[in-house]
C-alpha cells in the first residue's frame, strides 16, 4: 500500500487503472491529514494494477494506494496485514482482498476473523516461521531479510515542525528584530533576555499580537546598524518554557545559565502529577526537550520524570463535570473564606481515591471542617491533667500500638497518593485518643508523644491549623521543617492475631491467638477447638500445614 503522493505511483499505475488512480490522488490531496488518519473516516483506496513480490514466499501482492498511508510517516509505503491491523482489515473487507491469518490467537479454532486480531499468538500460514511466537517470528523474518540484503531494520519517527509563535502577550518574547536595511537580526546574547513590557494591553484582540500595539516595545534600534528597527511581537508557545521549567525551578536565582548544574542532584523529577488531559501534551514536549538537551550534553538523563500520577476530577454536587452552563460550579475562594483553606484541602483529599476524584459535597466538607475543630479541641488539652489518674498499662500499650500502626499506614498511604485512607487512619487515631482521654487511662508523656506525631502526620494535609497547634503545644517554628514521624514494626504488631483453622482445606474455625505463636502451640489449639473436633474425630491427622501468623491446615484421613 502506497501513499497517494508516493513518487512510485506514477510508474506503477497501469493504463487500465490510470483514470481511477488520478481521480483518487486528486481527492486525497483535498483531504486533510487529520481526516485521513481519523478512525472515523472510511478507509478507501484504489488498485494500481501492479503487483509486488513478497520475497519471503515468492507470492504476488497487489499494490494499492490508500489515503490512510501518509508520505510524512515512514517511507510512505506499508505492507498491509489485513488479519492483524484494524485499518487493513476494514480495507480488505471493503475491497474483497484475502484476509490471511498469520498470527493465530492462542485459542483459535480455525474460523474466519470478524475483526483484526492484534494480540499475541503463534505464527501460522507462514512457511518456515510457523509455530514461532509472533515476537520470535518478527525477529526471524527481519533477520532473514537482512541476511539476504533485501532490507534492514530501522526506526521511523513521525517528526513534525512545531510552530512556536503565538499572538499572545503572555509568553517568552522571540528575541528577533526587523531592520529595513539588515533584515532579520537576532538579539545578541548579552542583550538577553528581552523582557515583556509591564504596561501592555495583554488581552488578545483577534488582530495579531497584543504587543504590536505597544509602541515602546515595538520600536527599537537595530543591533547591527543602529538604525530604526521593530521587535518581533509574537511570543513563544508556553510549552516552550514549561518543557524545561523543572530545570529552572531548582535554581531560580541562578544567573550564569539556564540552570545551576550543581542543583542537578534533584533531577530527574521523582514524581509528576497532573490532570491527564494536560499531562499528555506537556509530557510529550518535555520529554522531547530533555532528550534534546541530553544529546547536547546539557543534562545527563534522558527522561525528565520518573513517576507519573494523574489526579481525578472534582465533580459538581450533581456528580457532573463542573460547568457554568450546568450551574454546579463551586468557587473555592468562597469556601476557603467560610471554612478555611485547610478544610477545603482536607476535604479534597478525603473525597475519594486521588486518581478518581469525586463529587463536591456540602455535607462532606462541613463534616471535615467539624473534624478539624475536634482535632483542635483534642490537641489543646492540658496533658498534665492525665497524671492525676491511675494509668492503665494495657491502655498505654494499645495507644502506643495504635500510634505506630497509624504512622505506618499514614506514611505508606501518603507515599501512594492514598490521601483519603491516610486521613481515615488519622480520624481513627483521633477517636482512640478521645477515648483514652475520657477514660484518663494513659500518662501525659504517652499523650504528648501521640499528639506530636499526630500533628506531624496531619501537617501535609492541614498545613495551617497544624502550624498553629505546633506552636501552641510548645514547639518551635516550623512544623513543616520536621521529619515525618517514624514507626517501629514491633510496637505496631498486634498482641493477638486471628488464626484460621482448616480441615482438609476447608475453614472450620477462627481462633484469637497470641501474635508470636509457635507452630506446635498453634496446632495444639487448633486440635482442641470443639468446632474442629467434629471433623477430626475418629480420624488421624496425617499432616499439618502451618502459615505463621495466618493459618493451620489439618490434613486428616
Q: For residues 78 and 177, which CB has a smaller minimum distance to Zn ion in the complex? A: 177
Query: Is the Cα dihedral 280, 281, 284, 286 positive or negative?
Result: negative
Nearest distance from residue 243's CB to Zn ion, in Å? Answer: 32
Here's the x/- map for Zn ion, 477-516, by CB under 5 A: it reads as: ----------------------------------------
* 177 lies in the site for Zn ion, by CB under 5 A: no
For the chain, what's the residue count? 557
Interacting residues of 254 by C-beta distance below 8 A, sequence separation 6+: 260, 263
Taking CA atoms, 214 is separated from 210, 218, 335, 485, in Å, by 8, 6, 40, 56
Nearest distance from residue 187's CB to Zn ion, in Å? Answer: 13
Q: For residues 222 and 456, which CB has a smaller minimum distance to Zn ion in the complex? A: 222
Q: For residues 181 and 416, which CB has a smaller minimum distance to Zn ion in the complex? A: 181
Q: For residues 174 and 403, which CB has a smaller minimum distance to Zn ion in the complex? A: 174
Nearest distance from residue 186's CB to Zn ion, in Å? Answer: 12
**Bond before 478 cis per omega within 30 degrees:** yes
Nearest distance from residue 217's CB to Zn ion, in Å? Answer: 18
Which residue is it, cell 509528576? 272
**Is the distance from CB of 556 to CB of 535 less than 8 angstroms?**
yes
Nearest distance from residue 306's CB to Zn ion, in Å? Answer: 48
> Is 459 in a helix, a strand, or coil?
coil
Q: For residues 52 and 194, which CB has a smaller minimum distance to Zn ion in the complex? A: 194
Candidate segments 62-70, 72-80, 217-225, 293-301, binder of Zn ion by CB under 5 A: 217-225
In the window 179-198, what residues touch Zn ion (CB under 5 A)?
179, 181-182
Binding-residue total with Zn ion (CB under 5 A): 7
CA pair distance 66, 339, nearest whole angstrom: 61
Q: For residues 179 and 465, which CB has a smaller minimum distance to Zn ion in the complex? A: 179
In the window 19-78, what residues touch Zn ion (CB under 5 A)?
none
Nearest distance from residue 190's CB to Zn ion, in Å? Answer: 17
- Longest alpha-carbon distance in the chain: 111
Angle between helices 341-350 and 362-379 (to 10 degrees): 120
Nearest distance from residue 46's CB to Zn ion, in Å? Answer: 55
Looking at 10, 225, 281, 306, which residue binds Zn ion (CB under 5 A)? Answer: 225
Interacting residues of 531 by C-beta distance below 8 A, sequence separation 6+: 501, 508, 509
Nearest distance from residue 76's CB to Zn ion, in Å? Answer: 44
CA pair distance 269, 219, nearest whole angstrom: 41
* 224 lies in the site for Zn ion, by CB under 5 A: yes
Nearest distance from residue 146's CB to Zn ion, in Å? Answer: 55
Candidate segments 41-49, 215-223, 326-334, 541-549, binder of Zn ion by CB under 5 A: 215-223
In the window 432-461, what residues touch Zn ion (CB under 5 A)?
none
Q: For residues 179 and 552, which CB has a smaller minimum distance to Zn ion in the complex? A: 179
Interacting residues of 421 by C-beta distance below 8 A, sequence separation 6+: 409, 413
Beta-bridge partners for 228: 221
Candidate segments 173-181, 358-366, 420-428, 480-488, binder of Zn ion by CB under 5 A: 173-181
DSSP states along 225-289: T-SEEEE---EE-THHHHTSHHHHHT-TT--SSSS-GGGGGG-SBS-EEEEHHHHHHHHHHHHHH
Report the half-sphere exposure of 76 (CA within 13 A, side-chain side).
Answer: 10
* 176 lies in the site for Zn ion, by CB under 5 A: no
Nearest distance from residue 167's CB to Zn ion, in Å? Answer: 25
Residue 151 grid coordinates:
532490507
Taking CA atoms, 62 is separated from 54, 340, 403, in Å, by 10, 71, 73
Candidate segments 187-195, 218-226, 315-323, 333-341, binder of Zn ion by CB under 5 A: 218-226
Q: For residues 132 and 222, which CB has a smaller minimum distance to Zn ion in the complex? A: 222
Residue 14 grid coordinates:
497501469
Candidate segments 163-171, 196-204, 225-233, 322-330, binder of Zn ion by CB under 5 A: 225-233
**Is the distance from CB of 101 to CB of 128 less than 8 angstroms?**
no
Q: For residues 222 and 450, which CB has a smaller minimum distance to Zn ion in the complex? A: 222
Which residue is it, cell 528597527? 229
Looking at 92, 222, 365, 503, which residue binds Zn ion (CB under 5 A)? Answer: 222
Selection from 365, 313, 316, 361 nearest residue 339 by Cα? 365
Taking CA atoms, 244 is separated from 190, 237, 239, 280, 287, in Å, by 22, 13, 9, 15, 9
Q: For residues 50 and 220, which CB has a smaller minimum distance to Zn ion in the complex? A: 220
Q: For residues 181 and 531, which CB has a smaller minimum distance to Zn ion in the complex? A: 181
Nearest distance from residue 218's CB to Zn ion, in Å? Answer: 16
Q: For residues 191 and 439, which CB has a smaller minimum distance to Zn ion in the complex? A: 191
**Footprint of Zn ion (CB under 5 A):** 179, 181-182, 222, 224-225, 227
Amino acid at each position: 500500500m502506497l501513499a497517494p503522493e508516493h513518487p512510485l505511483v506514477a510508474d506503477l499505475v497501469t493504463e487500465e487503472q490510470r483514470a481511477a488512480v488520478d481521480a483518487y490522488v486528486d481527492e486525497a490531496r483535498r483531504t486533510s491529514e487529520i481526516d485521513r488518519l481519523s478512525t472515523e473516516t472510511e478507509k478507501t483506496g484504489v488498485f494500481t494494477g501492479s503487483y509486488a513480490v513478497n520475497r519471503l514466499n515468492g507470492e504476488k501482492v497487489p499494490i494499492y494506494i490508500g489515503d490512510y498511508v501518509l508520505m510524512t510517516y515512514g517511507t510512505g509505503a506499508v505492507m498491509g496485514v489485513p488479519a492483524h491491523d484494524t485499518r487493513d482489515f476494514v480495507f480488505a473487507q471493503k475491497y474483497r482482498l484475502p484476509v490471511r491469518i498469520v498470527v493465530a490467537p492462542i485459542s483459535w479454532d480455525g474460523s474466519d476473523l470478524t475483526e483484526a486480531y492484534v494480540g499475541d499468538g503463534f505464527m501460522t500460514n507462514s512457511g518456515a516461521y510457523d509455530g514461532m511466537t509472533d515476537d520470535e517470528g518478527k525477529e526471524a523474518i527481519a533477520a532473514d531479510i537482512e541476511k539476504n540484503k533485501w532490507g534492514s531494520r530501522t526506526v521511523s519517527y513521525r517528526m513534525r515542525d512545531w510552530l512556536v509563535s503565538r499572538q499572545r502577550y503572555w509568553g517568552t518574547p522571540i528575541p528577533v528584530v526587523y531592520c529595513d536595511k539588515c533584515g532579520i537580526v537576532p538579539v545578541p546574547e548579552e542583550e538577553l533576555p528581552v523582557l515583556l513590557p509591564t504596561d501592555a494591553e495583554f488581552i488578545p484582540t483577534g488582530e495579531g499580537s497584543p504587543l504590536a500595539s505597544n509602541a515602546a516595545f515595538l520600536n527599537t534600534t537595530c543591533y547591527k546598524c543602529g538604525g530604526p528597527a521593530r521587535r518581533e511581537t509574537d511570543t513563544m508557545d508556553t510549552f516552550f518554557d514549561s518543557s524545561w521549567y523543572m530545570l529552572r525551578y531548582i535554581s531560580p536565582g541562578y544567573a550564569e545559565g539556564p540552570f545551576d548544574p550543581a542543583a542537578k542532584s534533584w533531577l530527574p523529577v521523582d514524581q509528576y502529577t497532573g490532570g491527564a488531559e494536560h499531562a499528555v501534551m506537556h509530557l510529550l514536549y518535555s520529554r522531547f526537550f530533555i532528550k534534546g538537551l541530553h544529546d547536547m550534553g546539557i543534562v545527563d538523563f534522558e527522561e525528565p520524570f520518573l513517576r507519573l500520577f494523574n489526579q481525578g476530577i472534582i465533580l459538581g454536587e450533581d456528580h457532573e463535570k463542573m460547568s457554568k452552563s450546568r450551574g454546579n460550579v463551586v468557587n473555592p475562594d468562597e469556601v476557603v473564606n467560610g471554612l478555611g483553606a485547610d478544610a477545603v484541602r482536607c476535604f479534597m483529599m478525603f473525597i475519594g481515591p486521588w486518581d478518581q476524584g469525586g463529587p463536591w459535597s456540602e455535607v462532606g466538607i462541613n463534616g471535615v471542617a467539624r473534624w478539624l475543630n475536634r482535632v483542635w479541641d483534642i490537641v489543646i488539652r492540658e496533658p498534665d491533667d492525665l497524671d492525676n489518674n491511675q494509668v492503665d498499662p494495657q491502655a498505654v500499650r494499645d495507644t502506643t500500638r495504635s500510634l505506630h500502626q497509624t504512622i505506618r499506614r499514614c506514611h505508606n498511604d501518603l507515599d501512594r497518593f492514598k490521601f483519603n485512607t491516610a486521613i481515615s487512619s488519622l480520624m481513627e487515631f483521633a477517636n482512640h485518643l478521645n477515648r483514652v482521654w475520657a477514660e484518663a487511662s494513659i500518662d501525659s508523656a504517652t499523650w504528648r508523644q501521640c499528639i506530636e506525631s499526630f500533628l506531624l502526620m496531619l501537617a501535609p494535609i492541614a498545613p495551617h491549623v497544624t502550624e498553629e497547634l505546633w506552636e501552641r503545644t510548645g514547639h518551635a517554628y516550623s512544623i513543616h521543617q520536621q521529619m515525618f514521624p517514624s514507626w517501629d514494626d514491633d510496637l505496631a504488631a498486634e498482641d493477638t492475631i486471628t488464626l484460621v483453622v482448616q480441615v482438609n482445606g476447608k475453614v472450620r474455625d477462627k481462633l484469637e491467638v497470641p501474635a508470636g505463636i509457635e507452630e506446635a502451640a498453634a496446632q495444639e489449639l487448633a486440635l482442641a477447638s470443639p468446632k474442629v473436633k467434629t471433623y477430626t474425630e475418629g480420624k488421624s491427622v496425617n499432616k499439618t500445614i502451618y502459615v505463621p501468623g495466618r493459618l493451620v491446615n489439618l490434613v486428616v484421613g
